[in-house]
A = this chain, B = another copy of it.
């Protein structure tokens, strides 16, 4: 699992709900931070992207009071899309598994464009092994 890039996030009190745990609606925000942290900050990718599919499996409740680790890897790169595989861990348990597909976006036309060779190269070390 060394292909995953790790981002630490501290749950906020305002992210809890009256059920007493982290609201399910917060998870996509953390996943987005995990992807941004890998792609923009770590790899320096500047290409704007748009989310086209988000698929989240909630395995365990996430709680307030302990840091979480968002693990981000690349599952597949298509012509104009990239699919990320992500996991959210807390207290040594995998609480969430998610896959997110994004499309490279031309900000003028708001239309998808091919993923550049340069971005493919940068993402390569985070491709999950075939399994």
Contact = CB atoms under 8 A, between A and B. Distances in A.
How many subunits of this chain does the assembly comprise? 4
B56 A53 contact: yes
Contact of A29 (B14, B33, B54): B14
B51 A58 contact: yes
A33 B25 CA distance: 11
B64 A58 contact: no
A58 B55 CA distance: 11
Interface in A27-72: 27-29, 32-33, 36, 48, 50-58, 61, 64
A61 to B, nearest CB: 7
A10 B40 CA distance: 13
A131 B53 CA distance: 23
A105 to B, nearest CB: 9
Given A18-B21, A25-B29, A50-B61, 15 more contacts: A12-B33, A13-B32, A14-B23, A17-B18, A18-B18, A18-B19, A18-B20, A19-B48, A19-B50, A24-B28, A53-B55, A53-B57, A53-B58, A54-B56, A61-B110
